[in-house]
Chains A and B, each alone.
Chain A
Amino acid sequence: EVQLVESGGGLVQPGGSLRLSCAASGFTVSSAYMSWVRQAPGKGLEWVSLIYSGDGRTYYADSVKGRFTISRHNSKNTLFLQMDSLRPEDTALYYCAKDRGLLGNDYWGQGTLVTVSS
């Protein structure tokens, strides 16, 4: 059974950093595309970042480019999102999701909440 469990969220001051983790089971993270998607309180879904299987190419939304870094640890079967220079507008529930390339996100975690506030 495929499972994704996010962790690492919390309260951080503007300008601070957090690293989110997404522990996967039931499949191999290195063999799948993986995405981070966020949802601000009461708002819609916003795609944040994508990492390809194999060569590990990475892509970012313009809103986070240069501040966030997606990566994976193959032996731990875990996906990460390093978030630096955080802003209040980064406050959201962050989901990791298994990404089937062109065919959508078929598995999602339960999300981890990030709050950026002084």
Chain B
Amino acid sequence: DIQMTQSPSSLSASVGDRVTITCRASQSISSYLNWYQQKPGKAPKLLIYAASRLHTGVPSRFSGSGSGTDFTLTINSLQPEDFATYYCQQTYTTRTFGQGTKVEIK
């Protein structure tokens, strides 16, 4: 089974900061990597699919990059509504989620 490891597990940031979250796969998954945002008490929302493609309606301050085993989610100019937990997901073989990264207010 493919394991997904996110780092960091949590981070503190201020409004306007640039935030970077990384996700590493235990084997190559090509570009079959998706990113989700989840707020407390809500279902996850798809942000980025196929490593770098912005899902419909997602603000352009979100971007994704990477291929193979190493991937990055970047949030430029963090907004108050971006404080949430972020998960990566591989869809190369069945599905696996990373353990999540909680973005908190500094």
Min C-beta distance of B103 to chain A, whole Å: 14
Cβ of A106 within 8 Å of any chain B Cβ, yes or no, is: yes
- Whether a CB of chain B sits under 8 angstroms from the CB of A8 is no
Number of residues of chain A lying within 8 A (CB) of chain B: 22
Annotate B39-52 by CB proximity to A: 1 below 8 A, 0 otherwise: 00001111001100
Interface residues of A (CB under 8 A from B): 35, 37, 44-47, 50, 59, 61-62, 95, 100-106, 108-111
Shortest B59–chain A CB gap in Å is 17
Closest 7 CB pairs of A and B: A104-B34, A108-B43, A47-B95, A104-B49, A44-B100, A45-B97, A103-B49
CB within 8 A of B95: which of A35, A108, A109?
A: A35
Interface residue count on the B side (C-beta < 8 Å): 25
CB-defined contacts of A103 to chain B, threshold 8 Å: 34, 49-50, 53, 91
With A35-B95, A104-B34, A104-B89 as known contacts, state yes or no: A110 contacts B46, CB within 8 Å.
no
Residue of A nearest to B89 (CB): A104
Say whether B46 contacts A105, CB under 8 Å: yes
Cα–Cα, bound, A59→B1 (Å): 13
Residue B60, interface by CB 8 Å: no
Residues of chain B within 8 A (CB-CB) of A44 are 85, 87, 97-100
- Interface pairs (18), CB distance under 8 Å: A35-B95, A37-B97, A44-B100, A45-B36, A45-B97, A47-B95, A47-B96, A95-B43, A101-B91, A102-B50, A102-B92, A103-B34, A103-B49, A103-B53, A104-B46, A104-B89, A108-B44, A111-B43
